[in-house]
Homo-oligomer: A and B are copies of this chain.
């Protein structure tokens, strides 16, 4: 398989960027199909609003505040309250434009596409034009305890298929390969933007975890800070390197491959395993055999292999609770990639797939112990999860 992917850029009515990633001849965008004009009367994304804390300070775009109790930045995306909620299928904003129409009425102006990426219309993170991400912020209520800054960065949507009812698990490897290409390319470009600390490609799948649009899609976040989980992992990895001289993530992968107990899938370049201290009702990690920091660092063979391994893993997850696939698993699948700045050398690419489903119709809720204390209690064991996924091997 070779990666003959053509990337074509365009813009939507409100100036948002959109990128087609086409893998099939004749390339869809600008080729066989027509790109319609986006004439939707979309509101100005960068209108100046007044800070909500009573100071009347002018604010352009979303803000984030530092939580003094945890040191974490909290973006405040109050404008997202109005976002689209489960529209009927014929009004899906992620479907291609209707052939024969004069103007686009969804987010994608082309009448067909293979894979498409565009800026989220309701972003939690956005960099207004002219923003200097390094400029000093303001103080909420003038208090030094409460720094606030523009919530710069970027939130993108990636549509995995033009087909409304498709799923990542069932796409042909060729198309998954294009998705990998798009993830890698967007990671590379976003990591180069000023003020970006970390790029996160992920998929939320299933209504049970609040997905508002059933069309198969994922998201790409370019964070202006290192996220709390990554921060913790980097601290552990730094400690491990200081003590052993080795990479923590590599050592974990080696130990899982040695133990074999929880390995659920192995290919030439990738291994999937349920981690020895898995915390979710269903959790699997997928890691490359070679030490690579992020998706752009994968070579062609590793990408080809991933395009076969990833859907195979997801298909097994969809049969986790019912052999016939009648209980598709709601899941979060997120790529942990090396950060852009300090600590980059400690990172190692891996995908974490987790689910809050404990059984058909039974969710794990994040209540007092989890939400209040950040402590996780597993209702199962990693070995049970692994045994089930091993049983489902083709």
> Which A residues are closer than 8 A to B by beta carbons?
52-54, 65-72, 74-78, 80-81, 124, 140-141, 143, 145-146, 200, 202-204, 209-211, 219, 221, 223, 227-230, 232-233, 235-236, 240, 248-249, 251-252, 255, 258-259, 261, 275-280, 332-334, 336, 352, 354, 356, 358-359, 363-369, 371-384
A145 touches B70 (CB 8 A): no
Q: Tell me the interface secondary structure of chain A in the complex.
A: mixed
A72 touches B375 (CB 8 A): yes
Indicate which residue in B75, B365, B373 contacts A209 across the interface (CB closer than 8 Å): B365
Assembly CA distance A379 to B140 (angstroms): 18
B204 touches A368 (CB 8 A): yes
Q: Collect the chain B residues with CB atoms within 8 Å of residue A369's CB.
A: 124, 200, 202, 221, 227
Q: Collect the chain B residues with CB atoms within 8 Å of residue A124's CB.
A: 369, 377
Copies of the protein in its oligomer: 2
A255 touches B146 (CB 8 A): yes
On whether A354 and B372 interact (CB within 8 A), knowing A69-B248, A145-B251, A145-B255, the answer reads yes
Nearest-neighbor residue (CB-CB) of A210 within chain B = B365
Assembly CA distance A332 to B370 (angstroms): 10
B377 touches A232 (CB 8 A): no
On whether A384 and B78 interact (CB within 8 A), knowing A72-B376, A375-B227, the answer reads yes
A78 touches B372 (CB 8 A): no
Q: Collect the chain B residues with CB atoms within 8 Å of residue A141's CB.
A: 255, 258-259, 261, 276
B279 touches A368 (CB 8 A): no
A379 touches B77 (CB 8 A): yes
B371 touches A332 (CB 8 A): yes
Q: Collect the chain B residues with CB atoms within 8 Å of residue A52's CB.
A: 381, 383-384
Q: Collect the chain B residues with CB atoms within 8 Å of residue A261's CB.
A: 53-54, 141
Q: Collect the chain B residues with CB atoms within 8 Å of residue A372's CB.
A: 200, 202, 229, 332, 334, 336, 352, 354
Q: Collect the chain B residues with CB atoms within 8 Å of residue A334's CB.
A: 368, 372-373
Assembly CA distance A69 to B76 (angstroms): 28
Assembly CA distance A202 to B372 (angstroms): 9
Q: Collect the chain B residues with CB atoms within 8 Å of residue A255's CB.
A: 141, 143, 145-146
B210 touches A276 (CB 8 A): no
Assembly CA distance A124 to B229 (angstroms): 24
- Among all A-B residue pairs, the 6 with the closest Cβ atoms: A210-B365, A334-B372, A228-B374, A229-B374, A227-B373, A202-B368
B232 touches A71 (CB 8 A): yes
Nearest-neighbor residue (CB-CB) of A280 within chain B = B371
Expressed in whole angstroms, the minimum distance between the Cβ of A106 and any Cβ of chain B is: 22
